[in-house]
Amino acid sequence: MPDTRSQPRRPRSGSRRDEAARLAVLHAADDLLDERGFGALTVEAIARRAGVAKQTIYRWWPSKVEILLDTLIADSEKSLPVPAERPTAETVRDYLRGYARFLADDPAGKVLLALFAEAQHHPATAERFHERYLGPRREQERAMLAHVIDAGAVAPSLDADAALDALLGPILYRALTGTNTPDDTVDTLFETLLRPRTT
Amino acid sequence: MPDTRSQPRRPRSGSRRDEAARLAVLHAADDLLDERGFGALTVEAIARRAGVAKQTIYRWWPSKVEILLDTLIADSEKSLPVPAERPTAETVRDYLRGYARFLADDPAGKVLLALFAEAQHHPATAERFHERYLGPRREQERAMLAHVIDAGAVAPSLDADAALDALLGPILYRALTGTNTPDDTVDTLFETLLRPRTT
Amino acid sequence: MPDTRSQPRRPRSGSRRDEAARLAVLHAADDLLDERGFGALTVEAIARRAGVAKQTIYRWWPSKVEILLDTLIADSEKSLPVPAERPTAETVRDYLRGYARFLADDPAGKVLLALFAEAQHHPATAERFHERYLGPRREQERAMLAHVIDAGAVAPSLDADAALDALLGPILYRALTGTNTPDDTVDTLFETLLRPRTT
Amino acid sequence: MPDTRSQPRRPRSGSRRDEAARLAVLHAADDLLDERGFGALTVEAIARRAGVAKQTIYRWWPSKVEILLDTLIADSEKSLPVPAERPTAETVRDYLRGYARFLADDPAGKVLLALFAEAQHHPATAERFHERYLGPRREQERAMLAHVIDAGAVAPSLDADAALDALLGPILYRALTGTNTPDDTVDTLFETLLRPRTT
DNA sequence: GCGTAAGCGAGACGGTACGTCTGGTCTTCCT
DNA sequence: AGGAAGACCAGACGTACCGTCTCGCTTACGC
C-alpha cells in the first residue's frame, strides 16, 4: 500500500483536480463582480486574477455562469438558508427580512442579481439557473410555507407559488431598481399577504 | 392675410435626419431582440438588418441601450399607457392586468426585461433606464394611485412606492422567471394589497 | 455712417465657379501634403482646411490626384520650365541641376514624388499622370535635347528617351531614397552621358 | 564561484508560432498585390485570403509594410542575389540586366515598386524600407563594385554610391513609368558609366 | 426685374477598412 | 494527467474617410 498520508501539501501537481485552482477561480469571479461589475467579468479576467490558465476554467466549467452558480449556491446556503426545521410564522418573516438584506448588502446578493440578469439574455443560462438554484430553492420555500400553513400559522389567499412570488417579487424588484426594502416594509408585505394568526 | 403663426420654422440648413433610417434601426433592434435574443443584438447586426451604416447608428444613439429605450418608450406609451384621466379602482386593476400581458405577450415586453437585465450589468444603463423610463413612469403611476386613494376607492397599507412595488414586483418577478401571471392572480394581488371598497 | 468695414469677404457664391474656393482647395492640398504628409491628404481634410464643402471638391475634381496635378503643373511651369528657346549644352545642364533642386527643396517637388508614388498604386492615376504631366513634359525635354544634338553641342550614346531617363532617373532615384544630388554629381552625369563638345 | 549568469533556460512554455499561418499570410499578400493591386492590399483582405484571423497578422507584423518587406527580402535573395564571389565586369552587367528583368517581370518586382511608393507616403515606411532592404542591399552592391574596381575591371567617374544610383536609377525610373529597359540599353548604361576595360 | 439655374457650406447617408478586444478552442511544455 | 502559457480563428467594437445625396442659401444670367 503506497503513501496514504493524504497531505494538503503540494497544491500544484498531480493528475487530480487542483482544489486551490478551483477556489482561486471562484474567489476571483466573486471579487471581480463585486469590485468591477459584471462587465469586467470575462473568463480572461477571471483567469488573470486567479493566476490560472483559461483552459483550466474551460476544462471544469462550461461557462462563466456555472462559476457564478457555484459561488451563489455555496454562499446562499451559508448566508441565507431556507428554514427547514419546524418553521413558524416568525421564521418565515425573518427569512424574508434576510432575503432583503442578502440582496442589499451581501456580495453574493450581487451574484444573484447578475444571474437574474444573465438569464434574461441567454435561455441556456435561464435553464441552468432554474435547475441549479431557483428550482431547488423554491422547493424548500414551498416546504417551509406548507409547514406553517399546515400548522395554521398563516393563511395566504394565493397558492404557494404565487404567494412566494408575491413576497419575494417586490423585494427583488426593489433590489433590481437599486432600492433597499426595510424590515417594516417586509413585515407589512408579510402580514398583508400571509395573514398570520400570531406574530 | 397669410398664415402669421410664426412657428418654430428653423430651416436648419443642411441635411436633415433621415426618418426612414431612424425607424429602420428601431425596428431592426426590436426584431433582433425578439427573434435571436439579446446576445445577437450587436450594433453591427442592427446596422446589417436595418440596411443602415454603423456610423448612422453611432451618430444618433450613444449606445444600443438608448435604441432599446427609444423603442420601449414608444411601444409602452402605445400598448400600456398609465391611466391618467379619472382613474378608478377598476382602471388600476386593468392596468396591472395589462402590465402582466405586456411582459408576457408583447415583443416590447422583452425589451423591458432586457433593459432590467442590462441595468444590473452596467450602472450607466441603470441610470438612463431610470431617467428615461422607470422614473417618469413611476411618476404617472404614483399620480394614478394617489387619485384613486383620494377618491376613497382603495386603501393600501403601504405607502405609494412600496404599494406599487408590491403590485408590479411579483408580476415582473414571474416574467423574469418565465412564468405568466394570469388575471385572477393579478386580481387577488390587487385586492389583497389595495383593499378596494368596490370593484 | 454705417458699417464700412469692407471685410475681405468671400462673395459667397453665385452661379459661376468660385475662384476663391478653387485656390483654397489647391493651397490646402499643397499645405497638407507639405505639413502632414500624404497620409493626411484626404478629401475630408482638404475640405476642412480649405473651408469648403466636400461636394465643391467632387464637383470640380474627379479625384484628389487631379488636385495634385493642378498644383504640380502650375508650380513646375513656374519653378522648373523646360528650356525651349535656343537651348545650349549649358542650358540643359542647368535644367538638370534645377530638377535636382526642385525635388529636394521645393514643396512642389514633394507633390511630384507623391504622384510617382500614387501612380504605382493606382493604374488610373498612372494614366492621368502620364497624360497631364510626364507626357507633355517629356515632349518638351525631347525637343530641348534634339535641339542641342542638332546643334552638335552634345552627342549621347543613347536614344533621346533613354538618355533622358538616364539623366533624370538617378536624380529621381536619389530623391525617392531621401538623398540630394549635388551640382557636381549632376554635372558628371551630364558629361558622361551627353559627351558635350563644350561646356 | 558558481555560474550565476542567468541560464539560457528559456522555459518558453506555451504554443509556438504557426508556420503555416505565416506562409499563408506572405503568399496572400503577394498574390493580392499581383492580382488586384496595392489598393486591394488591405489587412482585412489578406486575412480573408489567407484564411487567418486579423489578430494573427497584427500579432506578428506591425504593419502590412513589414509583410511586404518579408516577401521582398525572401524573393529578391532568391531571384536577384547580389553577386558576391569574385564578381567581374560581366557579373555586374548581368546583375543590372537581372535588376531590369526583376522589376519588369517578377511579381516580387511589383512589391519593390510598391514599397518605393509607400515610402514616399509614410516616413516610417521609408525608414524600415531602408533599414531592412535598401541599406543592406546597397552594402552588398558597394562591395561588389569595390571588388571589380580593385581588380581594375571598371573605372567609374563617380563615387560608388553615385555610380550605383546612376546605374539603377534609370532602370527604376523606367519601371516606375511603366517602361521596360532592354538588355542593350542596360549595356550602354553600364559601358558609359563604368568604362569597363574588358567585357 | 424676376424666375431659374448653378454654385456654395453643411452634413447625413451606405459603405469599407482600420486596429483593438474578448470568446472559446487547441497545442505545447512543465511538473 | 493537470495546469500555465499563449497562439489560433472568429467577429464585434467604435472611428475615419470614401463618394453620393439632399438641404436651404446666394448670386448671376436671360427672358
Segment D116-170, tens digit of pLDDT = 999 999 999 999 999 999 999 999 999 999 999 999 999 999 999 999 999 999 9
pLDDT at residue B128 greater than cutoff 60: yes
Summarize pLDDT for C72-102 with one digit per residue, the tens. 999 999 999 999 989 999 999 999 999 999 9
pLDDT at residue A74 greater than cutoff 60: yes
pLDDT at residue A1 greater than cutoff 90: no
**CA atoms lying within 13 Å on the CB side of residue C167:** 30
C-alpha distances (whole Å) from A70 to each of A64, A66, A108, C156, D177 are 10, 6, 11, 89, 70
Contacts of residues C61-66 at CB distance under 8 Å and 24 or more positions apart, as own/partner, are C61/C25, C63/C125, C64/C29, C65/C115, C65/C118, C65/C122, C65/C125, C65/C128, C65/C129, C66/C128
Interchain CB contact of C189 with D (< 8 Å): yes
Residues A100, A102, A107, CA angle at the centre, nearest 5°?
140
Rounded Cα gap, residues A133 and B140, in angstroms: 36
CATH class given for the domain over C67-194: mainly alpha
* Binding-face residues of A in 94-153 toward B, CB within 8 A: 113-114, 116-123, 126, 130, 134
State what percent of residues in chain A have pLDDT above 70: 90
Interchain CB contact of A160 with B (< 8 Å): no
pLDDT, residue C78, reads 95
CA-based nearest residue to B49, from B69, B21, B70:
B21
Are the Cβ atoms of D188 and C158 closer than 8 angstroms?
Answer: yes
Q: What is the DSSP letter of A134?
A: I
State what percent of residues in chain B have pLDDT above 90: 87
State what percent of residues in chain D have pLDDT above 90: 88
Rounded Cα gap, residues D149 and D193, in angstroms: 13
Per-residue pLDDT, averaged over D31-44, amounts to 96
What band does A69 get if pLDDT is binned at 50, 70 and 90?
very high
Contacts of D136 in chain C (CB under 8 A): none
pLDDT, residue C180, reads 97
Nucleotide nearest to A40 (CA to C1'): E22
* Binding-face residues of D in 75-104 toward C, CB within 8 A: none
A20's CB contacts (< 8 A; 6+ apart) are A11, A12
Name the grid cell of A146: 406548507
Neighbours of C62 (CB within 10 A): 10
pLDDT, residue A3, reads 39
Secondary structure tally for chain C: helices H, strands E: 10, 0
pTM of the shown model: 0.87
D153 CA vs F13 C1’ separation (Å): 63
Query: Looking at domain A15-61, which of 1.10.287.3510, 3.30.565.10, 1.10.10.60, 2.160.10.10 is its CATH number?
Result: 1.10.10.60
What band does A43 get if pLDDT is binned at 50, 70 and 90?
confident
What band does A8 get if pLDDT is binned at 50, 70 and 90?
very low
pLDDT, residue B13, reads 47
Touch criterion met for D and C (3+ Cβ pairs within 8 Å): yes
Summarize pLDDT for A151-199 with one digit per residue, the tens. 999 999 999 999 999 999 999 999 999 999 999 999 999 999 998 886 4
Interchain CB contact of C50 with D (< 8 Å): no
Q: What is the DSSP letter of B126?
A: H
Q: What is the separation, in whole angstroms, between the first and last Cα of chain C?
A: 69
Mean pLDDT score across all residues of chain B: 91
pLDDT, residue D5, reads 35
pLDDT, residue D60, reads 96
Q: How far is D121 from chain C (nearest CA, A)?
A: 5
Interchain CB contact of A192 with B (< 8 Å): yes
Are the Cβ atoms of D189 and C134 closer than 8 angstroms?
Answer: no
Rounded Cα gap, residues A72 and A125, in angstroms: 14
pLDDT, residue A13, reads 46
Are the Cβ atoms of A189 and B166 closer than 8 angstroms?
Answer: yes
pLDDT, residue D14, reads 54
Interchain CB contact of C160 with D (< 8 Å): no
B19 touches strand F (CB under 7 A): no
Nucleotide nearest to D43 (CA to C1'): E17
Name the least confident of B94-103, B175-184, C11-20, C188-197. C11-20
Q: Which residue has the cell 522589376?
A: D103
Per-residue pLDDT, averaged over B53-81, amounts to 96
Contacts of C118 in chain D (CB under 8 A): 117
Please indicate whether the domains covering D15-61 and D67-194 agree at the CATH topology level: no
Rounded Cα gap, residues B121 and B109, in angstroms: 19
Domain boundary assignment for chain B: 15-61, 67-194
pLDDT at residue B9 greater than cutoff 70: no
